[in-house]
Structure 1
Amino acid sequence: MTSLALCLLLLVALIAPSSEYGATQGSLHPQECSPRCTVRCSATAYTKSCMFLCQKCCATCLCVPPGTYGNKQFCPCYNNWKTKRGCPKCP
């Protein structure tokens, strides 16, 4: 495999996850927040508060990171939104 083909393959692999999950900023419609947040909050014991914060963050940022934890690098707005004390606001 040539180096150009390898680079293209890596580029596609990096782009595919963010488009698959709608994780790039501004790619979700507000009505898509609830199902994405349901997945995001499915592994926590604090489902109600997680859903509230996730939907608030999604409505503002128009994205939800993939998975139940982490992956916030896919959503800069979601990742960088902090509370008054400097803690992460979005689950």
Structure 2
Amino acid sequence: MAPLSEDVDGSAAEQIADAVLALPGVVDLHSGLFGEVATYLPGRRVTGVAVGDEDGEVHIIVDLAYDLQEVAASVRDTAESITGLPFAVIVEDIEQVRRAG
């Protein structure tokens, strides 16, 4: 992945994070094994989303009750629609979410 250029608006990473977290089956974003997956912005960082000049990555934790491929495809489509760039989606972990009832 190409590094983020200085002129890329960091709000795209924030928009991706917000949109992805709202998708069914996405439990959370994941920062990678060493916390390296993030978009760094002045005074903050967007964990789990890395946006470069030519492509991007989203690292997620998925609810076990959902189809992993469908969730990953939804995440990819969402990120690509926001930026117009190709995105890779990495399922870092799976969690069994307890439901009330």
| TM-score, normalised with respect to structure 1 | 0.31
Q: Which structure's CA Rg is the greater one?
A: 1
Higher helix share: 1
Higher strand share: 2
| TM-score, normalised with respect to structure 2 | 0.29
